[in-house]
Structure 1
Amino acid sequence: MRFIVVLICFSVFFSCAHKNSVKRCPEVIKGYASYYGKKYHRRKTASGEIYNMYDYTAAHRFLPFGSIIVVKNLKNGKKVKVRINDRGPFVRGRVLDLSYVAAKKLGMIRDGIVPVIATVIRCGN
């Protein structure tokens, strides 16, 4: 009987610990954004989707797939809404890798890397 009580206590403890360890989406992300070159078109992303350079998508290191964010180019004030479907960038200081069409809408193709601020609209699964 004592063993069962101890087992139940451990079960409750570890189930509560798991709930507290779930990552939450940040409200705002600041840093630098780059974009995927054309050579990545039609390659598989970390989410399993095929990358389409004409879809408004982006990569982030930990935001859940399916998260929707609005990215603002701090150099010119232009904004774009994208969906997270990949992981990266894995370059110090960069917070997002944008699809080609998203980068074009932000007016960053020539620069390649720009300072951005992103607001999380919806946290994915």
Structure 2
Amino acid sequence: DGCFPLITNDRVMSPAEVLKAYRYQPNLERRNHILKGHQEVAPVYIETPHRIEALLLCHFFAMLAEALIEREIRASMKAENLAGIPLYPELRNCPAPSAPRILEIFGGIQRHCLLSDSQADHAADIVTDHVV
């Protein structure tokens, strides 16, 4: 009663650092729960194990890119001392932006480049009215 034993093989970490790492573990588990579950590949009709592995590797890279986007945005928010950024309707603050929402705000941005003899003649950036 009143004892919370934590065992580690890291001899460099202080007891406070071990506890901090232990408390961060659920964040890592939440990120990886998708990889630990079943992945649906049947609707794609790939039949060989090598192709299924390649598809799941692409899936993993996409999840990794999402995680990196979120980490960079949140680290930038912390560096700028921002409690949130206005991503929600009515420009309400979002304290922990997700990658899908971040990418959604760029959904209305398009870039068109017309080529003539392999050289760019004209480039146009188009931004729709509903960026946020």
TM-score, length-normalised on structure 2? Answer: 0.20
Indicate the structure with greater helix content: 2
Indicate the structure with greater strand content: 1
TM-score, length-normalised on structure 1? Answer: 0.21
